[in-house]
Structure 1
Amino acid sequence: MIDPRLLRDDPERVRASLAKRGLSDEVVDRALAADVARRESIVAFEAKRGEQKQLGKLIPQAQGEEKQALLAQTKTLAGEVKAAEAAQTAAEEQWRDAIMEIPNVAADEAPAGGEDDFVVLETIGTPRDFAAEGFEPRDHVELGKILGAIDLERGAKVSGSRFYFLTGVGAELEFALVNMAMEQAREAGFTPVIAPSLVKPRAMEGTGFLGQAADDVYRIEGEDLYLVGTSEVAMAAYHSDEILDVESLPRRYAAFSPCFRKEAGSHGKDTKGIIRVHWFDKVEMFVYTTLEDADAEHQRLLQWEKDFLDKLELAYQVIDTAAGDLGLSAIRKFDCEAWIPTQGKYRELTSTSNCTDFQARRLDIRGRFEGGTRPVATLNGTLTAIPRAIVAILETHQQADGSVKVPKALQKWLGREVLEPVNPVG
């Protein structure tokens, strides 16, 4: 959640951030009113508790009727204390509910607007000119059949729409991508992690995935567990309720996990292939650091993502995501979008977000600094989301005969330079 002092001292900044995201600022007034009511309820409760304590000191000294009167007064006061305590609890809940609705304050640099209002920061590489090479590129669905790499029909038969099997070189491609990602992360000082895909509600709420993103989350009926859409959730909660030594920061983790998304609101979008699916595997970078170093760490995460895409020899662009397309927790987000030849446009492959102390406040993760403890900053960044990486590799590096050249950096993990067709080319 945002710093309550920011809401109290500079509510106009919070209003401006909400407007930048395209959201109503009604919650600001509600949160401010709830904060006043909460503080007043605390004063009222403490006053009643003070009366109760003073009365308790008088009773042992009283005699006869005076004592009986004091005891009767004590009984009445006990009910008032209980009512004041209940009022304080209710006021605290109303305040917490209101402030938890407020997204992190978007960075000044983040563009205003919605999904289509991003700003292109740079373009790396040049998309292949297949017309100049004399052939029409095949999409990843056809290439997946030719290579025996992707089985969508049986995925749908077994699990339903937006599911798939990776087979043969498709499965090998996944393992190769994961190994290459983990090697890069390890060399950069990240601790490799295999993270759980099932988490408790607090982890989901703490990372902001039970707010505006709740419709896209799978819940396990009958159990207090959710399937994560990213290992960011588990890794953010990894150090919940802990105090970290500042000397140990930054703490960098590279987590592998399956990810699950309902893809709510995507009806009719990317229904063909494996670009938008209900389940996929991913290697996610997650960092705990100081607020002072968060911006610099965000740039480092972006550079690691770019390094990985460079190894895959892809043409891509980096965008500054607009405030209205940020998640609840992020103040700024950069996406790397690879060129997909058969779609004739760039599509998101990775993203990295700076969440400052928003998640840390929700999950009570603090650092031990000189002068006391205070919340740390958290950041996340995709190193590789497997299906989309496979789409980009197959379509970018395909040859006229249906084979696919393997990027040089990936060759040692795949043990070959070319993926050869195993089924007839149509």
Structure 2
Amino acid sequence: MSPTTIPDAPSAATPPAAPPLDAAQLAEAFALFSRASEELSTAYNALQGQVAQLTERLTVLMGALPAGVVVVDRGGVVVQVNRAAESLLGAGLAGQRWPAIARVLEATGTPGEVTLEHAEGQRRLSVSETALESGEERILLLHDVTETHRMRLAAERNERLAAMGEMVAGLAHQLRTPLAAALLYTGNLRQPELGPVERAKVADRAIERLRYLERLIRDMLLFARGDSLGRQHFGVCDLVAELTHTLEPLARARQIEFDSTCDCGDLTLYGDRKALGGALTNLLENAIQATEAGGRVTCEAHREQLAAGDGVCFVVRDSGRGIPAELQERLFEPFFTTRAEGTGLGLAIARGVARGHGGDIALLSTPGQGSTFTLNLPLWRGEAPVGTAADSGVSAS
């Protein structure tokens, strides 16, 4: 008996063949595709029109902006500028590297502001920077604040002159008293009966009064002039060492322990070294005057994170009698003093110098437990203040 042949069963994996499209269905599908293509083309053309319109508006806006606009890519190359930026920095900026352009901008004592030598004279610019969300480009805004800066300086000077005017009566008394004493002592020198020893004592007292007058007039001039003049780079620890060399003998003469520390290494500041040294000297002299024999005065300097960025803090601490709360608010007022021999301008000048360098002075004191004055200053890197465009990621290292 021969084996029975079983026909092959259809494969379950093979899908059934789709019925062929007839001509009408093909025509309908082609018509749908054509309509979709036309709609996409219309939408694309509309988007192109909107982009062109937005581009035109942006171009007009950049041209009308009074502030300079510089667009810099990730590599630090300028890709776009407006007319205001070209009027400040020159034409043909596109394609150049921003770090090379930014070399003409010099840092000032105010964070975020730089100076630029211009054909119309030195200009003062406020520089701000914003990165795009993509991270591919950064936009730098350059605001010409020359006139604003001049008005600010004039207003500050007027405030100082107004403060001096309010204190004219008290100042006249301060000048008249030592002057009268000096005249009295020098008048006594004419008495023939004075011996050499008495004559020398009277002369010393007259010279002492005249020196006090000289110091008072010097402080008045410093207060009226306001901000300091020349600026330079100098080491923080070098300044602390100089202060120690100057003040340690004075403290030793009053039998007061004087210590100074600086953990800033080779860190540098940019400012008027003489003015800052004078401000810190005022703080240290006041601390020594407020401390009794056997007490202690310290001067410390360290790097610290401030609200405006990296900074340096100078801390002057004493173990003296402290300052009552009701007097602390008035200590920085011009001509206010708690010392008979004080001019009342030292702390006012010190705060003016600190603020002129972008910093400030703070006081913490408890009666009977001493006082702590903290002078903080922003830290400069190179020729540009921390946080400005010249020190941003678009700059060359």
Task: Report the TM-score range of the alignment, normalised by the length of the smaller protein.
Answer: under 0.3
TM-score (norm 2): 0.25
Q: Which has the bigger relative contact order, CA under 8 A and spacing at least 6?
A: 1
Higher-Rg structure is 2
